Structure 1
Amino acid sequence: MIMIIIGPKIMIENPNILPKVDRLTAFFDAFELEASLAPTPMSNGRARLFVVGEPGGSAEKIILQPRGDTPPDGLALITAAVDFEGVHNPLMNALPDQVVVDVNNIPTLRDTTAAFMAEALESRCGRSAALNRLCEVIVLLILRSAIDRGATEPGLLAGLSHPSLHRALVAMHDAPTRAWNSDDLAATAAMSRSHFMAVFRNVVGTTPQAYLTGWRLVLARRKLAKGAKVKTVARQVGFGSTAAFSRAFFRKFGNWPSARP
């Protein structure tokens, strides 16, 4: 076990001894998920969820396509359109074009998919609400599986899969208004500052401060779209001034926040 002492802090570069943290809740809190049954031919750009298996049999795998309309590999017993704010949701944008999960490898996914199929095939009271909630659990389990498998390219998915870096990412997701500095984030990840900075850039593809600013702006755009005032939003997402927020917003999205609905 390697211990690095910096002032009063002790950082242990051994992620296996640290408790696990929740890497998904922030996304489900920040972005709304809706699902509806849809015919297979569909080209409106929404994400699609396919339940694949033999006719008359149980589900064998789930295919999530965050974007595009590539036909599934196998017979789709059920096709659902999923809106998890893909254009604005950085986690959905980080996924590959297709995520395939064998339902029999994850008992919870197998049981939830069975319930989803039962609701989809019958017209019962509360069907739409049930489909939404079951689909939310299915998407969550698929995202969990994708994070567990990791990613080969730098980005958010790779960062969430990293045994140490994901703690810093979760900290920023959960507390975006905090004045995070590199030392704080490195300590959260249980790494030395120099190692943290180098690994973060290599794995996530940007600097911690740039990522934090991007996350704050994504949250800000959602708040503005719901009618919040620019000054209020700037403060809510952790910017020191409205002017600084407006400039950062323009650099990222190409328009001023006052132009949002």
Structure 2
Amino acid sequence: MENSKILTKSSSPRKMDRLAAFLDYFKLSVLVLDPEQPVQGPSLWLYEPSQGGGRIALRMAPLSQLPANLRAIVAIEFENAANPLMAAIPDEISVALDDAPALRATTQAFLSEVESNRCGKLAALDRLAEVMVLMMLRQVIDAGDRQPGLFAALAHPNLHRALVSMHDHPAKAWTVERLAEAAAMSRTQFMTTFRRIVGTTPMGYLGAWRLTLACRQLKAGDSVKAVARRVGFSSAEGFSRAYSRAYGHSPKARRD
């Protein structure tokens, strides 16, 4: 992570990374399964038709019957219960590998490892599977989403800038005006567009994001006061009230 920061450092503005915060805050782990093994929850399904091509699908629930051309399944753990990104993914996203050369090359490398017995095989499968998950998430964002929600907002040419600003700097003293400025939109246009596409207000989204991060930190054993300050609340009391309204119990109960 530190090396990548050094390599990308320049005098030009940092390109906004729409996935960085999710990868920083929520641990991604993968498990390569035999196609005959049962799978629950999110998973990657790799298919190879009899006549070239092939496709890969990101599924949020397993199929009742395994297809004949299924080559491999990768179970995904992305702290799903708390991660708003995973909660926003449609039931299935399928990509034809002929339409995604980089993803096709990664998938071919993955399948080559599956069929080999070379040293470091398990480590290679894990790394390649993680890359495939990231590439699939990119596909979802790049394709956009016609339905209101997080992916539609991340695909929006202006709104994603405000979202990334909140994701990367949750403790900053954000106002609607500052977020509208980040999105290069007028206040009225920003408020209207944000509510229409995201389904809530900018400050409502920011508050939910802060509480999501707070849950993880409390679970790790951090103090209520430290967490409140770290996620952007001016006082532990205000944080406790907001947390209790959202989750029905005090942050201390979550920590304990």
Q: Same fold, TM exceeding 0.5? A: yes
Instruction: Give the equivalent residue in structure 2 for 1:11.
Output: none
Instruction: Give the equivalent residue in structure 2 for 1:145.
Output: 139
CA distance change for structure 1 residues 124 and 256 in 2, over 3 Å: closer, same or farther?
farther
Asked whether the 8 Å contact 1:38–1:80 carries over to 2, the reply is: yes
Asked whether the 8 Å contact 2:39–2:75 carries over to 1, the reply is: no
Does 1:121 find its partner at 2:115?
A: yes
> 1: CA distance between counterparts of 2:94 and 2:67?
10
Asked whether the 8 Å contact 1:52–1:59 carries over to 2, the reply is: no
State the one-letter code of the partner of 1:46: G
Instruction: Give the equivalent residue in structure 2 for 1:84.
Output: 78
> 2: CA distance between counterparts of 1:95 and 1:186?
26
Which consecutive residues of structure 2, in runs of 5 or more, have no partner in the other structure? Answer: 1-12
1:78-133 per-position Cα deviation (integer Å, ceiling 9, x unaligned):
01111111221101111101011112212211111112112223343333332222
State the one-letter code of the partner of 2:62: D
Instruction: Give the equivalent residue in structure 2 for 1:175.
Output: 169
State the one-letter code of the partner of 1:81: A
TM-score (norm 2): 0.87
State the one-letter code of the partner of 2:63: T
> 2: CA distance between counterparts of 1:208 and 1:110?
37
For residue 257 of structure 1, the aligned residue among 230, 251, 256 is 251
> 2: CA distance between counterparts of 1:62 and 1:155?
23
For residue 201 of structure 1, the aligned residue among 174, 195, 198 is 195
> 2: CA distance between counterparts of 1:113 and 1:237?
38
| DSSP-derived class of the 2:31 partner | strand
State the one-letter code of the partner of 1:35: V
CA distance change for structure 1 residues 206 and 51 in 2, over 3 Å: closer, same or farther?
same
1:125-150 per-position Cα deviation (integer Å, ceiling 9, x unaligned):
33333222212211111111111111
TM-score (norm 1): 0.85
For residue 155 of structure 1, the aligned residue among 146, 149, 154 is 149
For residue 42 of structure 2, the aligned residue among 28, 47, 50 is 47
CA distance change for structure 1 residues 174 and 73 in 2, over 3 Å: closer, same or farther?
farther
Greater relative contact order (Cα < 8 A, sep 6+): 1
1:50-72 per-position Cα deviation (integer Å, ceiling 9, x unaligned):
011136x866111111x322256
1:156-189 per-position Cα deviation (integer Å, ceiling 9, x unaligned):
1111011110110011011111011011111111
- Alignment identity in percent? 46
For residue 98 of structure 2, the aligned residue among 104, 107, 110 is 104
